[in-house]
C-alpha cells in the first residue's frame, strides 16, 4: 500500500472518530444535564460592610489611580452576590442604589446596622471579675490557641478563623506583629467592628477578643472566603521629586542631611511599633529631620510604615533610600492637640497585679533573648 494512501486513510479514520465522539458527547450532554452543586451557587452574605482583602491596611478614603489587573473577583467567578470593583466588594450595589441617597447616608445606615447587631450579640457588659477570668484563660501557659495578625493586617479570611475559634471558647487571643501595630487603635476598632466582638484585655500587641453573651456558633454570619490575594491597586507616589515649597537643590540637600542624622530607633522584623508615632512627635520638638533605621525589613513594609507616619504624626516623607525612613516635620510644625484621643496606653490594667507582673516578665525575657540573638 503506498505511503500517501496510508496517511490519507489514517486522517479519514481520525476524522470519523472525532465526529463520532463529538456526537456521542452531545447526546450524553442532552441526556445528563449538568446541574451545579450547592457549593458553586452564589453565596449571599448580609454582613453590613464592604468586603476588602485587608480592613486595617486599606482605607476607603484612599483613591487609587489605576488597577494592576482586570476586575476578577477573588471570591471566584459567580460565587458571591456582590460586584468586585477592583478594590472591594461593596455591601450596597452601585448599580441599583437610589439617586436620592448619598454615599454618606449609606455609610451611616451601615454603621448603624453594625451597631445594632453588635449590641444584640454582646448583651449585658462583663463585670471586672468575668473579664479577669476570661483574660486569664488566654495566658500562654494555659492555651496555645491564637491568631497571628501580620503584615497584611486584619484580612477578610481571618474573620472566618476568629469565628472558628469562637466555636470552642468564648475568647480568642490575637497576636499583632509588624506594620499594623503602628496604629493599634485602628486594629482594635476594626476587630470589634468587623467581628462584633469586644476586646477585654490588651498588652502591647496581644489582644483578647470576647465573642459576646448572646453569641451562638449556629447563628454565626456567612463569610465567603477569598480564594486568592488580589493585587493592590496603583496609588500615587509617596516620595515626590521635589518637596512642596522647596526647590530641587534644597530637596537633594535635605535628603543628604536626613541620611546623616542619627537614627531615632531601629525597627526589628515583625516587631511591635506601637510607640513609634509618639517617639517621632517627641523627636520633632528638638529636630526637624528624623531617621528610622529599617535594615532587614521588606521594602513594602517600611513604605507602609512611612505612609502611616505621614498620616498620623503628621509629617512629610523625604526618602526611603538605603533602607531608611527619613521624615521632615515641615516649616510650621505644631504638635497635634488630640494626641491622647488617637492613641492609648500599651496596657489596660485590671484588678489583678499578678497578671501585669507576668506580662512584664514575658517582655523582659523576650528582650533578653532578642539582645542575645543580635
Gap between the Cα atoms of 305 and 92, Å rounded: 31
Same-domain pairing of 207 and 118: yes
Same-domain pairing of 57 and 82: yes
> What pLDDT, on a 0 to 100 scale, did the predictor assign at position 351?
41
Same-domain pairing of 179 and 274: no
Residue 101 lies in a domain: yes
Residue 338 lies in a domain: no
CATH number at residue 76: 3.30.110.60
Same-domain pairing of 116 and 210: yes
Residue 260 lies in a domain: yes
Same-domain pairing of 217 and 286: no
Same-domain pairing of 126 and 44: yes
Q: Which of 290, 312, 328 is the last residue of a domain?
A: 328
Residue 225 lies in a domain: yes
Same-domain pairing of 139 and 211: yes
Residue 267 lies in a domain: yes
Residue 26 lies in a domain: no
pTM score of the predicted model: 0.79
> What pLDDT, on a 0 to 100 scale, did the predictor assign at position 17?
45
Same-domain pairing of 48 and 157: yes
Same-domain pairing of 202 and 254: no
> What pLDDT, on a 0 to 100 scale, did the predictor assign at position 332?
80
Joined together, the cell numbers standing for residue 291 give 531617621
Find, among 129, 191, 134, the residue nearest to 163 by Cα: 191
Residue 116 lies in a domain: yes
- Per-residue confidence in pLDDT tens, the chain, 374 aa: 454 444 355 444 444 444 444 444 455 456 656 565 665 677 888 899 999 999 999 988 888 999 998 999 999 888 888 999 999 999 987 665 544 444 456 678 889 999 999 999 999 999 999 999 999 999 888 888 999 999 999 999 999 999 999 999 999 999 999 999 999 999 999 999 999 999 999 998 999 999 999 999 999 999 999 999 999 999 999 998 899 888 999 999 999 999 999 999 999 999 999 999 999 999 999 999 999 999 999 999 999 999 999 999 999 999 999 999 999 998 888 877 765 555 555 555 444 434 433 444 444 444 444 444 44
- Split into its structural domains, the chain has a count of 2
> What pLDDT, on a 0 to 100 scale, did the predictor assign at position 27?
55
Q: Which of 328, 348, 365 is the last residue of a domain?
A: 328
Q: 314, 290 in Cβ contact below 8 A?
A: no
| DSSP-based three-state secondary structure for 176 | strand
Give the pLDDT confidence of 45-71 residue by residue, as tens digits: 889 999 999 999 998 888 899 999 899
Q: How many residues does the chain have?
A: 374
* Residue 175 backbone dihedrals phi, psi, to 5 degrees: -105, 120
Same-domain pairing of 157 and 280: no
Domain with 295 in it = 248-328
Give the pLDDT confidence of 25-48 residue by residue, as tens digits: 455 456 656 565 665 677 888 899
Same-domain pairing of 137 and 267: no
Residue 134 lies in a domain: yes
| DSSP-based three-state secondary structure for 208 | strand
Gap between the Cα atoms of 40 and 240, Å rounded: 47
Same-domain pairing of 266 and 323: yes
206-210 and 263-266 strand pairing = unpaired
Amino acid at each position: 500500500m503506498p505511503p500517501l494512501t496510508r496517511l490519507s486513510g489514517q486522517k479519514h479514520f481520525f476524522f470519523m472518530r472525532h465526529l463520532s465522539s463529538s456526537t456521542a458527547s452531545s447526546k450524553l450532554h442532552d441526556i445528563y444535564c449538568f446541574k451545579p452543586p450547592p457549593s458553586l451557587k452564589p453565596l449571599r452574605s448580609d454582613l453590613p460592610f464592604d468586603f476588602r482583602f485587608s480592613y486595617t491596611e486599606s482605607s476607603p478614603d484612599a483613591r487609587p489611580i489605576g488597577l494592576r489587573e482586570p476586575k476578577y473577583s477573588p471570591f471566584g467567578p459567580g460565587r458571591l452576590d456582590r460586584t468586585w470593583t477592583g478594590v472591594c466588594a461593596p455591601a450596597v450595589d452601585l448599580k441599583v442604589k437610589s439617586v436620592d441617597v448619598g454615599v454618606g447616608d449609606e455609610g451611616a445606615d451601615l454603621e448603624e446596622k453594625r451597631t445594632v447587631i453588635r449590641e444584640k450579640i454582646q448583651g449585658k457588659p462583663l463585670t471586672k471579675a468575668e473579664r479577669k477570668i476570661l483574660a486569664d484563660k488566654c495566658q500562654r501557659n494555659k492555651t496555645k490557641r491564637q491568631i497571628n495578625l501580620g503584615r497584611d493586617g486584619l484580612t477578610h479570611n481571618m474573620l472566618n478563623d476568629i469565628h472558628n475559634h469562637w466555636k470552642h471558647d468564648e475568647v480568642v487571643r490575637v497576636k499583632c506583629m509588624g506594620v499594623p501595630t503602628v496604629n493599634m487603635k485602628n486594629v482594635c476598632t476594626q476587630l470589634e467592628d468587623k467581628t462584633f466582638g469586644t476586646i477585654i484585655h490588651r498588652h502591647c500587641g496581644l489582644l483578647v477578643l470576647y465573642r459576646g453573651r448572646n453569641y451562638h456558633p449556629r447563628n454565626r454570619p456567612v463569610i465567603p472566603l477569598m480564594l486568592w490575594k488580589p493585587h493592590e491597586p496603583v496609588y500615587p507616589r509617596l516620595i515626590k521629586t521635589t518637596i512642596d515649597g522647596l526647590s530641587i537643590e534644597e530637596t537633594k540637600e535635605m535628603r543628604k542631611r536626613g541620611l546623616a542624622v542619627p537614627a531615632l530607633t531601629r525597627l526589628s522584623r515583625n516587631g511591635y511599633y506601637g510607640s513609634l508615632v509618639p517617639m517621632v512627635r517627641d523627636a520633632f520638638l528638638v529636630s526637624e529631620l528624623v531617621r528610622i533605621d529599617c535594615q532587614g525589613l521588606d521594602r513594602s513594609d517600611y513604605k507602609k510604615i512611612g505612609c502611616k507616619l505621614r498620616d498620623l504624626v503628621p509629617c512629610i516623607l523625604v526618602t526611603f533610600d538605603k533602607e531608611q525612613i527619613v521624615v521632615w516635620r515641615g516649616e510650621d510644625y505644631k504638635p497635634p492637640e488630640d494626641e491622647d484621643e488617637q492613641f492609648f496606653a500599651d496596657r489596660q490594667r485590671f484588678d489583678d497585679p499578678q497578671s501585669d507582673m507576668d506580662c512584664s516578665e514575658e517582655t523582659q525575657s523576650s528582650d533578653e533573648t532578642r539582645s542575645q540573638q543580635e
